[in-house]
Amino acid sequence: MSPVPSTSQLRVAVVGAGPAGIYAADILSKADVDASIDLFERLPAPYGLVRYGVAPDHPRIKGIILALYKVLQRGDIRLLGNVDYGTDLTAADLREHYDAVIFSTGAIRDADLNIPGVDLPGSYGAADFVSWYDGHPDVSRTWPLEATEVAVLGAGNVALDVARILAKHPEDLMVTEIPENVEEGLRANPVTDVHLFGRRGPAQAKFTPLELRELGQVPDVDVVVYPEDFDFDEGSEQAIRASNQTKQVVKTLTDWTLRDPAEMTASRRVHLHFLHSPAEVLGTDRVTGLRTERTELAGDGSVRGTGRFEDFEVQAVYRAVGYFGSPLPGVPYDAVAGVIPNDGGRIIGDDGRAVPGMYATGWIKRGPIGLIGSTKSDAAETIRNLLEEFADGRRTASERDPDAILRKLEADGVPFTTWHGWELLDTYERALGEQAGRDRVKVVSREEMTQISRADREHAEQPSGS
C-alpha cells in the first residue's frame, strides 16, 4: 500500500547538476504543478561538463554557464553540492524523501578502444586529460607531459581540444581560467608534433567549423594536412550537400592542403591524418609508437581496411574516441551502450517495465551525442512523461518535509554545499582572477572548494567565544 501523502506538493530529486539536470529542473519548475525540486551534485560546484569538460580557451562555449546561472539564481530550485549519490545518498534514501528521481549524471569516462598496447604507460584517456587541464578536483594535480611527439585518436571536438591544448604555448592560455598547477605542467611540456588520426575521410570528421578554424589561428602552431588523406565517395558528397557544417569543415581542410610547406616555420605542429584506423599502440615498457591501418571509403561514407599499415613514432597516445556512461548503484544499466535503459526518460527495469518514479535525462539517457539544444529537448521529453505519471495527484514519498534531507545529510556528517556556497566560491575564484588580470582562476582542491563554500555556515556553527 502506498504511503498516505501529507502534502500535495510533488517532490523531485535531480541527480547531477550539469546542463541536462539544470534544464530538467528548470522545465519542471515552470510546469503547471506545485513541485519542490532538489538538485544534487557530487562536486562542490555546479555546471558539470560545461565547467569541467570544455577547453578553457573556449569562453564563448562557457557562456552557457550564464544561462544556467540565471536558472539557479532564481531560488526555486535547491542546489545541494558535494553530495555523492551511492555514497552519501542511496536509491532508498531518495525514494523515502522524493516522489520522483531524475538521473542526469552524464557520461564522463572514456569509451574503450580494444587494440593491442592500449594499456601501455603513456597511453591516456582524453577524458582524464580534459579533467586535468580543466582543474577537476578528483584527478591528480600533475600530468606526465614528457613526449615530444604525441598521437590523438579521434576526429571530434574533444580530440581537437586535446590536440590544441597540447600544442598551444602556455602564455597563450594565460588569459583563461586554468589553475596554477595546470600552467606549471604546460610550461614544462616539450611537445613539438601532435598527430591527430581520423578513421574516416575529411567529410566524416565531426569537428565544428569554428573549432577547426580556431586551430588554424593558434600562434606559433602550424596545421599540416596530407593530400593523400583526402578522398570523397558518393556518401561524402551527399554529406557535403546535406550539411553546411560539413561543407565548411571540408573547405577549411581543403584550403589547408594548398599551403606552401616552406611557409610553415612554427615551433610546433598539429598534423591531421584521415583514413587511418588505429591498429596497435607500439612499445614494450611504454609507448614508443602508433601503428595505423590505411582505410578506404566504401561508397556510402563508411570505410574498410586496406591491409596496408604505417608506423608513427610517438611517445604518448591520447584516446578521444568518445565518452561512456557509468553504472549507478540501485539503478538499471546497459553495460553495452553505457546508458540507463529507458523509454522516453522512464527508466526500464530488468523485467522490461517502467520503474515507478525513476527517470533519466541527458547523456546517461541517450548516450554522449548531441549539443545543448538536444539536451533541452531531451529534458522536456523526460519531464513530460514524469508529469504524466503523477497527473493523478498520487504522491509516494513517506517523508514529506523538504528539510528532512538536510537533517539527514548533517547527521551523517556530509559537508554539503548550497547555491549560496557556490556564489561564495564563484566570488573567490573571480577575485583570484582579478589579481592575475583574468576573469577567473579555478580553485582545484575539493577540500578548499568546500571550505570556501561553507565558510558562512561553519562560522555560524562555531560555539560562542571560540
Interval 73-89 mean pLDDT: 97
Is a pLDDT exceeding 70 seen at residue 3? no
Q: What range defines the domain where residue 68 resides?
A: 10-108+325-416
- Using alpha carbons only, give the angle 93, 398, 396 rounded to the nearest 5 degrees: 95
Specify if 424 maps to a domain.
no
Model confidence pLDDT, tens digit, residues 268-312 = 999 999 999 999 999 999 999 999 999 999 999 999 999 999 999
Task: Name the nearest CA neighbour of 203 among 159, 236, 179, 156.
Answer: 236
Is a pLDDT exceeding 90 seen at residue 62? no
Indicate the average pLDDT of the chain. Answer: 94
Please say which residue of 294, 323, 352 terminates a domain: 323
The CA distance from 324 to 386, in Å, is: 25
The CA distance from 63 to 68, in Å, is: 9
Model confidence pLDDT, tens digit, residues 82-119 = 999 999 999 999 999 999 999 999 998 999 999 999 99
Same-domain status, 139 and 268: yes
Same-domain status, 375 and 309: no
Interval 438-452 mean pLDDT: 95
Same-domain status, 95 and 210: no
Q: What are the residues whose beta carbons fall under 8 Å from the beta carbon of 53, sequence distance 6 or more?
A: 108, 127, 130, 131, 134
The CA distance from 443 to 422, in Å, is: 12
Is a pLDDT exceeding 60 seen at residue 465? no
Number of domains comprising the chain = 2
Is a pLDDT exceeding 70 seen at residue 441? yes
Model confidence pLDDT, tens digit, residues 232-276 = 999 999 999 999 999 999 999 999 999 988 889 999 999 999 999
pLDDT band at 6 (very low <50, low <70, confident <90, very high): very low
Which pLDDT belongs to residue 456? 81
- Looking at the DSSP bridge assignments, the partners of residue 294 are 276
Which pLDDT belongs to residue 462? 42
Which pLDDT belongs to residue 370? 72
CATH classification at residue 101: 3.40.50.720
Sign of CA dihedral 56, 57, 58, 64: positive
Which pLDDT belongs to residue 115? 97
Specify if 352 maps to a domain.
yes
Specify if 451 maps to a domain.
no
Interval 139-152 mean pLDDT: 96
Specify if 3 maps to a domain.
no
Same-domain status, 169 and 314: yes
Is a pLDDT exceeding 60 seen at residue 464? no
Same-domain status, 81 and 178: no
DSSP state of 81: B
Same-domain status, 152 and 257: yes
Which pLDDT belongs to residue 1? 35
Bigger pLDDT: 4 or 266? 266
Specify if 460 maps to a domain.
no
Residue pair 272/233 in contact by the 8 Å Cβ criterion? no
Same-domain status, 43 and 142: no
pLDDT band at 4 (very low <50, low <70, confident <90, very high): very low
Task: Name the nearest CA neighbour of 100 among 326, 341, 347, 343.
Answer: 347
Same-domain status, 263 and 386: no
CATH classification at residue 138: 3.50.50.60
Same-domain status, 307 and 408: no
Specify if 457 maps to a domain.
no
Model confidence pLDDT, tens digit, residues 358-397 = 999 999 999 988 777 778 999 999 999 999 999 999 999 9
